Amino acid sequence: MTGDELVAEAGGLDAGDPLASFRNEFVAAEPNLVYADGNSLGRLPKAAVELAHDLVTRQWGERLIRGWNDDWLDLPERMGAKIAGLIGADPDEVIIADSTTVNLFKLSVAALQARPGRTGIVSDDLNFPSDLHSLAQSAQLLGQGHELDVVESQDGISVAAASIAEVVSAETALVCLSHVVFKSGFRHDLRELTEVAHRRGALMLWDLSHSVGSVPIDLHAADVDLAVGCTYKYLNGGPGAPAFLYVRRDLQEQLSNPLAGWMGRASMFDFDLSYEPAAGMRRFLTGTPAVLSLAMMEPGLDLVAAAGIDRLRQKSIALCEFFVRLWRSELEPLGYRLQSPLDPGQRGSHLSLGHDDGLAIDLALIEELAVIPDFRAPDNIRLGFAPLYTSFADVAELASRLSQVVVEGRQAKYRVSYRRSTSRPTVT
Ligand SMILES: *Cc1c(COP(=O)(O)O)cnc(C)c1O
């Protein structure tokens, strides 16, 4: 395909895109930048700029401690309710607190304690390392002989549901997986694997960090017990924005928060020395929330809700399929390997390309060609297609710059520098 044909086709796809105008709701400080990392840090909504000003100058500056009564105290539930609408949960089943890792720790310990006598925890090696660290620590901390069984992927891209089903047994207390895995973008079947856990009497805990905001999720339909997830990726909540946790209503009173604190106590302002957990999801709170970050997630959540998760998913598939076609015709001949499932039904909204020169290419794209992908060892150039603001023109431009790097041999310089020096940036 010639460059002109490609531009024309992308232009046609953008013209027919019902979500095209959402791009204008985000700050785009560098018009030439191709941002392919919305799965790691979503863009800044313009409305969040205004809100930040109001939060700091009026809410904090003028209202001072009265802000807690105005809005701050209710924020964990109010933002949680907005997320509930995106994941097929009821508003009172989701709350915002801490980070994803901390929430995973809280819910995994709570789940293990709710299944006494069972010592198995099942996950897979495509899961996010932080999740596995946290699960291993939960197992050790309880001192009851819990063991983490990590199912291995055969191809580094996917794990078959049957391989997980094989190791879930009557000893299993908890199955914990990432819905969409962070490296390859492979998507587990939420309903099928939840059923696998339930059939053996285990609880199921899903990490939705890489799917929420880009893939329709129906926790009720899948009868999911527990879930956690991130708000700074496809939800555009801002760097380090706090995370959410979901507990199915009938389980809420059965589970206890291993990180008990005053924010999760019934009538917290009694300052009573005894701990009585609050009713409902508030019991999963620990200490004072990061109000500024928590409040800042609202504009991003509202944009995702306005776009509608079904339309976002449709566009996400179209963006990825467009890219896969360009990969086949332009990039595969240059040594790029697709390290993600080919079937869109088995993917989230990002794709990984492997290349023998992966890291050097990643660095050349960032330094010289105004492309921001990210890199996940050993050789994955990870490309996020955040459907809320990524255009088909971006996808065409991305493919053409990926091609340009290799055709012009621009990676050579970086191959040397990262091997020899400390110039490799910490975040790539
Ligand atoms: C991004 C991500 C996290 C992030 O966890 P933090 O505690 O916010 O650092 C956790 N799990 C998965 C699967 C992720 O993709």
The torsion angles phi and psi of 375, rounded to 5 degrees, stand at: -130, 130
Contacts of 171 (CB under 8 A, 6+ apart): 118, 119, 120
pLDDT of residue 425: 62
Tokens of 78: 């109010």
Residue 320, classed as helix, strand or coil, is: helix
Say how far apart CA 166 and CA 186 lie, in whole Å.
Answer: 20
pLDDT of residue 418: 55
**Strands, sheet with 337-338, edge to edge from the N-terminal-most edge strand:** 337-338, 350-354, 380-384, 374-376
Quick one: CA dihedral 287, 293, 296, 298, positive or negative? negative
pLDDT of residue 424: 59
Say how far apart CA 151 and CA 10 lie, in whole Å.
Answer: 40
Is 210 touching ligand 1 by the criterion CB < 6 Å?
A: yes
Q: Which of 22, 35, 105, 128 is catalytic?
A: 128
| Cα 333 to ligand 1 centroid, rounded to whole Å | 34
Task: Mark whether 420 is an active-site residue.
Answer: no
Contacts of 295 (CB under 8 A, 6+ apart): 51, 55, 59, 71, 72, 75
Q: Which amino acid is at 132?
A: L
Residue 175, classed as helix, strand or coil, is: strand
Q: Cis link prior to 378 (omega < 30° from 0)? A: yes
| Cα 271 to ligand 1 centroid, rounded to whole Å | 33
pLDDT of residue 267: 85
Is 101 touching ligand 1 by the criterion CB < 6 Å?
A: yes
Would you give the end-to-end CA distance of the chain in angstroms?
30
Closest atom, ligand 1, to C-alpha of 210: 15
Do 178 and 228 meet the contact criterion of CB atoms below 8 Å apart?
A: no
Q: Cis link prior to 76 (omega < 30° from 0)? A: no
Residue 54, classed as helix, strand or coil, is: helix
Conformation bin of residue 69: beta by default, left when phi > 0, alpha when psi is -120 to 50: alpha
Say how far apart CA 295 and CA 48 lie, in whole Å.
Answer: 9
Say how far apart CA 39 and CA 43 lie, in whole Å.
Answer: 10
Is 206 touching ligand 1 by the criterion CB < 6 Å?
A: no
For the chain, which residues score pLDDT lower than 50?
Answer: none
pTM, two decimal places: 0.97
Contacts of 228 (CB under 8 A, 6+ apart): 100, 103, 104, 107, 205, 206, 207, 208, 209, 243, 244, 245, 246
Residue 204, classed as helix, strand or coil, is: strand
Task: Mark whether 233 is an active-site residue.
Answer: yes
Q: Which of 207, 357, 374, 394 is catalytic?
A: 207
| Cα 397 to ligand 1 centroid, rounded to whole Å | 29
147-167 pLDDT, tens digit per residue, is 999 999 999 999 999 999 999
**Burial label, 163 (beta-carbon count in 10 A; 0-12, 13-18, 19+):** middle
pLDDT of residue 415: 86
pLDDT of residue 164: 98
Say how far apart CA 316 and CA 39 lie, in whole Å.
Answer: 12
Residue bearing the CA closest to ligand 1, atom 5? 100
Tokens of 414: 């970086």
Q: What is the DSSP secondary-structure string of 214-269?
A: TS---TTTTT--EEEE-SSSTT---TT--EEEEE-HHHHTT---SS--GGGBTTGG
Q: How far is CA 30 from CA 33, 35, 310, in A?
A: 5, 10, 29
